[in-house]
Amino acid sequence: MTPGHRRAREAGQEAWIAFGGEADQPWLRLLRPGFRHCFAALRDEAGWTVVEPLSGRLFVGRLAVPAEFDLPGFYRRAGLVVLGPFVPGAVRARRLPPLLPLTCVALCRAVLGAGAPVALTPRGLFKRLSRILQQNRKIILTSAIT
């Protein structure tokens, strides 16, 4: 584990993935409405950081809100679908550079780390992450009963 990943885990970093978006680019109209874009919000003991690929640039910003602020709830009230929390995983061990372009889905998968599900569209990522959360809830519920 690299020092950066060790610091992230020690800081108790959690990630939320938000889905939404309008078709601001013509080719986005091919994607399902409400799942045309995704981005990541990370919380640690000091507060919130948002990582969002925009058309033509990458936005990374530390928000001026307290760490206790309910950012996922804020996004939900704004009409976005939010999944999480996820604990960012280890680095992917790769021998070859990625062959796919840097999209919002690729960026969210990179934030989540090696355990991130394979997906090409925001809707595909949403479905796979939802499935992971459902499985984890079942494990937690089952272990609490026994």
- At 75-87, the pLDDT tens digits run 999 999 999 999 9
Mean pLDDT of all residues belonging to the chain: 82
Q: For 134-138, what is the mean pLDDT? A: 75
Peptide bond into 122 cis (omega under 30): no
Percentage of the chain modeled with pLDDT above 70? 74
pLDDT category of residue 145 using cuts at 50, 70 and 90: very low
